[in-house]
A and B are shown apart, each in its own frame.
Chain A
Amino acid sequence: MAVTAPVGVLALQGNVPEHLDALRACGAEARPVRRPAELAEVAGLVLPGGESTTLSKLLEAVELLEPLRERLRAGMPAFGSCAGMILLAREAIDGRPDQHQLGALDITVRRNAFGRQVQSFETDLAVTGVVGGPVRAVFIRAPWVESTGRGVEVLARVPGSVPGPASGKVVAVRQGPVMATAFHPEQTGDARLHDLFLRRVREYAAAG
């Protein structure tokens, strides 16, 4: 079933085209969002992978920060990947002290938790709510979730087969209409997580 209202991808910087493609592959009308007026027109928003410090700075500079907080408070569905997860979190560790947090997810994330680029990796990952087998999860200088508040559902953890401190860490969550992954579902051509997000958008639209 197609989503009738358009959904947006925050397009200030980062992996925007891949998210637009994935949403369109699911039958949604997807648009880039760079201005407050564009944000007002979408029924849900994807916050893409990118550099969270840059995105945080640009959100403020283009006066999107408060309108976005307002929409999220009002229950707009959102889906963040990697940098998007960091922005949606209530708190980020190892970030810059002046980095803005949208606080739409009651989680604490650790930035670049897995290490630098040479430690970036991909692996198969089972995700709650995604049917048809595991997703291929690409982690790029990725964060992980250190702690979750009440009301946050854990959707995926790093497999126990991964050695070291990363083992078992939470890497996908949902809280009401907002979900986030530490990895990049937009990188693999597998749109099942985008489909899950669009289901939230439809529920939200139906609830009026």
Chain B
Amino acid sequence: MTRPDTAPATGTGGVKRGLADMLKGGVIMDVVTPEQAKIAEDAGAVAVMALERVPADIRAQGGVARMSDPDMVAGIVESVSIPVMAKARIGHFVEAQVLQSIGVDYVDESEVLTPADEAHHIDKWAFTVPFVCGATNLGEALRRLGEGAAMIRSKGEAGTGNVVEATRHMRAIRSEIRALSRMDTQELYAAAKELRAPVSLVQEVAESGRLPVVLFTAGGIATPADAAMMMQLGAEGVFVGSGIFKSGDPAKRAEAIVRATTFHDDPDVIAKVSAGLGEAMVGRTTSDMAEHERLATRGW
């Protein structure tokens, strides 16, 4: 990369990826009101994700799920000092422009909302605000990076309280990275074709043995043990959606998940914080879900 001149530069790759770096080891919580955002901040969340309805409610109520009301997002931005992320529909670049304009710190181009475009994701290079995108495998992650995403998360199956899909996605991404690391130059060209991803990114991942951006996990995380397991599977941080505010004691569960994420490799701590949390959100299995109910298949 050429060295930029001495004038200060905003919206650079380093600045966009850098904020995700600062969130590492932390928990980002879905919130729908300023009150929930305060509870999340009090519990030690590193950021909050503003959305119209949590995924479990989107599933239950159906209809088109869109970006939150800008007033509500602005209210959340006002109410906490931690970074505020917000979801835009896949391909809905104007929702993303609106979120950038009201001062959101990160935009999640999210399969949890109803996609606005069936062929195109947002051109994320065109924005100053950084983007996080979901992925179910390495190819999808690299295509999102090619479009300018600055952070990747597993998709999981949001709103189910079932961690099995997130596990699948985390394992897929990590094992595909390991496979790339063992390939020679010619094999990498073939792998790029297979992954439908830019060759330069494939080569970079093969060499470094990791994504060039921070990798979080999301989708179905409901307990401290879920969060710790994802961290041990290689996630660098955790998004929790419905798992907190659909549980019996959100403040206590939020705090417990934060602690379990920091001490993800210490079963004594996880045991201690997992005790007496009250009801977890009601979960549902994903193996018997109809195709149209699956959110993870949105985006490509």
Contact = CB atoms under 8 A, between A and B. Distances in A.
A112 B80 CA distance: 12
A109 to B, nearest CB: 13
Given A51-B47, A54-B258, A138-B14, A118 B103 contact: yes
A172 interface: no
A13 B12 contact: no
A61 interface: yes
Contacts of B243: none
Nearest to A15: B21
Interface stretch (A22-30, A71-79, A121-129, A145-153): A121-129
Contact of B26 (A13, A18, A120, A161): A13
A136 B1 CA distance: 13
Contacts of A16: 24-25
B23 interface: yes
Interface string A1-22: 0000000000111111110000
A49 interface: yes
A83 B25 CA distance: 14
Interface stretch (B2-10, B56-64, B117-125, B292-300): B2-10
Contact of A53 (B3, B22, B41, B263): B41
A67 interface: no
A53 B8 contact: no
A184 B12 CA distance: 14
B11 interface: yes
Contacts of A161: 6-8
A167 B125 CA distance: 28
A103 interface: no
Interface in B4-54: 4, 6-12, 14-15, 18-19, 21-26, 41, 44-47
Interface string B88-129: 000000000000100111100000000000000000000011
Contact of A122 (B8, B23, B77): B8
A136 B99 CA distance: 29
B6 A58 contact: no
A62 B25 CA distance: 15
Nearest to B23: A51
B19 A18 contact: no
Given A13-B262, A140-B15, A118 B128 contact: yes
The main secondary structure of chain B at its interface with chain A is: loop
Contact of A119 (B10, B130, B258): B10
Nearest to B25: A13
A118 B262 contact: no
Given A51-B23, A54-B45, A58-B258, A124 B6 contact: yes
A50 to B, nearest CB: 5
Nearest to B7: A161
A34 B262 contact: yes
A89 B81 CA distance: 18
A52 B86 CA distance: 21
A192 to B, nearest CB: 16
B46 A141 contact: no
A124 B44 CA distance: 33
A159 interface: yes
Contacts of A94: 81
A14 B41 contact: no
B106 A117 contact: yes
Nearest to B45: A54
B41 to A, nearest CB: 6
A12 B262 contact: yes
B262 A51 contact: no
B259 interface: yes
27 contacts: A13-B262, A15-B24, A16-B25, A34-B262, A50-B23, A50-B25, A51-B46, A53-B41, A53-B81, A58-B44, A58-B259, A82-B22, A116-B104, A117-B104, A117-B129, A118-B128, A121-B15, A122-B8, A124-B6, A136-B3, A140-B18, A140-B19, A141-B19, A161-B6, A187-B14, A187-B21, A188-B14
Given A82-B22, A141-B105, 14 more contacts: A13-B262, A50-B23, A54-B258, A62-B262, A116-B103, A117-B19, A117-B129, A118-B100, A118-B105, A118-B129, A122-B15, A140-B22, A162-B8, A187-B14
Q: Considering the complex of A and B, which 5 residue pairs feature the smallest CB-CB distances, nearest first?
A: A117-B105, A123-B8, A13-B25, A121-B8, A51-B46
Interface of B: 3-4, 6-12, 14-15, 18-19, 21-26, 41, 44-47, 77, 81-83, 100, 103-106, 128-130, 258-259, 262-263
